[in-house]
Chains A and B, each alone.
Chain A
């Protein structure tokens, strides 16, 4: 999975549906919560898009699913913990949270282990979601 990638996939005529200024933005998290600043900076971008009232979807794949585990004690490792921010997303009306099924299973997890309500999707469905968004941002 390429990291730090994103691209716009729309044709100009199809932009944004009915509202040109409310774009469909998907933020993909593919790295674990201790992988440098990727999770933290991905979440900051999500919150800014929500503050601009954009149609925001989050997707978690590969080690990204670890971002959603509860009980992360970053202080014990001497770090700051951004993962609490995922628990507050509903306050920003961000409630489209997708988690890729194989990524969970390969890590011995299921949706019940995660700290927020998510929609578990298979790879094909995730691909459809990527195509259905205007802009994709990868972290």
Chain B
């Protein structure tokens, strides 16, 4: 593939692990686009997608290990995994700083993910060739 054919992608994940194909489908899509030589800059988890980054979640079945799979792929391919702070807090996904800030007894953010504002979605989309969303 010529460099000029390589596209820059941002993925937006709205689907929670379990109960639908959107969550696992996003990971398969990420692997496929990388295998074809495209570039993945960021995977942004919004709405119910923030549950992907909850290390306390036990979805069972095929969706078990989804967070670990994302984390491994992101390290390997050099893109970041971001949960929207507002959506995450509303759903009980907090990093250590957020847990302290809100007086919660523990944090729930899975390794390899970080929590940031919605601006990180728009900022990445502004420079992307493609934004693909996965709902359910």
- Mark A residues whose CB is within 8 Å of B: 2-8, 10, 12, 15, 21, 23, 25, 37-38, 41, 44-45, 48-49, 51-52, 54, 135, 137-139
The B1-47 residues at the A interface (CB cut-off 8 A) are 7, 12, 14-15, 22, 46-47
B112 at interface, CB cutoff 8 A? no
B122 in contact with A52 (CB, 8 Å)? yes
Q: In the assembled complex, which residues on chain B have CB atoms less than 8 Å from the CB atom of A137?
A: 12, 133
Complex Cα gap A20–B7 (Å):
15
B47 interface neighbour in A2, A41, A48, A51, Cβ under 8 Å:
A41
Cβ of B65 under 8 Å from chain A: no
Asked if B46 and A3 make an inter-chain contact with CB atoms under 8 angstroms apart, the answer reads no
Contacts of A10 in B (CB 8 A): 129
Measured between beta carbons, the chain B residues less than 8 angstroms from A54 are 122, 126
Q: Which of B57-101 contact A (CB under 8 A)?
A: 86-87, 90
Q: Indicate if the CB atoms of B127 and A8 lie closer than 8 Å.
A: no
Contact (Cβ within 8 A) A45 B133: no
> Nearest A residue to B130 by beta-carbon distance?
A8
Residues in B with CB closer than 8 Å to A51 are 119, 122
Query: Which range holds the interface residue count of chain B?
Result: 20 to 34
Instruction: Return chain A residues, CB-CB under 8 Å to B129.
Output: 8, 10, 12, 15
B interface residue numbers (CB < 8 A to A): 7, 12, 14-15, 22, 46-47, 86-87, 90, 117-119, 121-123, 125-136
| CA gap between A103 and B108 in the complex, in Å | 41
Knowing A21-B126, A41-B47, A52-B126, the reply to whether A6 touches B119 (Cβ < 8 A) is no
Known: A7-B133, A12-B129, A21-B127. 19 other contacts (CB 8 A): A2-B135, A4-B136, A5-B135, A6-B131, A7-B132, A8-B130, A15-B129, A25-B125, A37-B87, A41-B46, A41-B47, A45-B46, A45-B121, A45-B122, A48-B121, A48-B122, A49-B122, A137-B12, A137-B133
